[in-house]
Every structure is written in structure tokens, then in C-alpha cells.
Homo-oligomer: A and B are copies of this chain.
Amino acid sequence: MLKYQQIAAEIEQYINQHDLKQGDKLPVLEQLMSQYGVSKSTVTKALELLERKGIIFQLRGSGIFVRRHNRPGYMSLFSTQGFKSNLGDRMLTSDVLDVSVTKPDATVAQNLGIDVTDDVYRVERVRFVDGEVFCHEESYFVKAIVPYLNREIVADSIFDYVQGALGVTIGFSDMYMQVGRLSASEAGYLGLQQDDPTLRIETIFHLSNGKPFDYSRITYHYEYSQFVVQANGPYM
């Protein structure tokens, strides 16, 4: 693990363990430097990471402060999208409906940048948070990149498996969101009525080399899907 990642993790842990609140001040840069025995730029990089994660904010001439949003029921949009596993103390489980190798239709192929003759893994799951139906997910993996999947892997975290066992690194993702109405079958999975409102998110996950490897469509249960997104300033 890189130094600045390690330091960021330790500072985050410190904030959680001491239950620091919004606006609480952290040690000044110079102290963090000596405390962790690294140069200024390394600490700065760690802090930048935490800033992007929405955990701190820095104010020139003043100090480094804790940033906290105050709505317990809301999950980070990104934590439910493969990234960051910090769902806090919530239990995430899955019913696996399908794991199979097939050919993609035109839409799927286009989103994955492959040919309709290429193989893909199709995975279908219903996901639960603390036992409550949370979403229905249909996702496709490029088989050339993810050569093997089974029900055990899929019941757990696919992303951990892909990054761990397969040794590929995930780079970035494009999420497309829209609101709509549930179809009859979707309503069945989510325990809702047809035409009930829903949030749909399609996501294309890319490896760090830019190649798409996963295209997923998630339909959220509107009563249990409350998301928080912490954004950082107008950067320019």
C-alpha cells in the first residue's frame, strides 16, 4: 500500500474512532508530517484523497477540518456502485438469479465496446440492505477480461474478486441515471406494484487502461434508495 493511501486511511480511522464532528480541527500539516515521518507533499496527497472522499476540507491560513454530512439513512451513491465498500455497518446480501455465459445483444455489446459474437457473463441479482429489498441488478462482464464467475463469487463482491484474483485494476466508470416506472417483472422482484416510481442507473465500468469490462443496469426500490453525493467545489 502506498504511503499516502496508508496515511489517509489512518487519518480517516482516527476521525471515526474519536467520533469527530463537522468542523472539528485536525493537527496542522507540519505536525502530520513529523507524526508520519513523511514529506509535506505526501501528507498533502493523503489529505487531497480525503477531501475528494468528502471526509475533510482544508482552509488555507486556518487548518484542516472534518467534514460530515448529517443524514444517517443515506448511502453514498458510489459505495453502492462497486467503489468504496464503506456501507458502514450495514449488511449487504444478494439473491443470485442467474450466472451464465451468453452472447450480448446490440445494446450491451455497444456499451461494452465488443462484438455481438464475443462472450459475456450475464449476472442477475436482487440485492438487500439489512434484509430489505434494495435493488434489482442485471450486469454483463466481458469474458475475455473476466474468464470465470460462479454463484459463490457473485453472491459476494464481484469487484473484490476481479481486482484480487484476476489482478486487474478498475479505473473509472460512467453512470447514467434516470427516473421511470417499474415493469411488472421488476415490481415482482422488488415487492412493489407495476408502474411504481423507480430510479434506474446504468453503469459502464472501465479498467484503468480504459477498456470497458462491466455494463450493469440497476433498478432501485424507491423507498429504500436514498443517496448522498458529496461534491467538491467548482474546480475551475
Contact = CB atoms under 8 A, between A and B. Distances in A.
B210 A179 contact: no
Interface residues of A, number: 60
A62 B172 contact: no
Copies of this chain, count:
2
- Label chain A's interface by main secondary structure: mixed
Contact of A229 (B49, B67, B77, B82): B77
Nearest to A182: B197
A52 interface: yes
Interface in A205-236: 206, 208-210, 220, 222, 225-236
A112 interface: no
Contacts of A8: 236
A57 interface: yes
Contacts of A49: 235-236
Interface of A: 5, 8-9, 22-23, 49, 52-54, 57, 59, 62, 65, 67, 69, 71, 74, 77-78, 81-84, 159, 163, 169-181, 196-199, 206, 208-210, 220, 222, 225-236
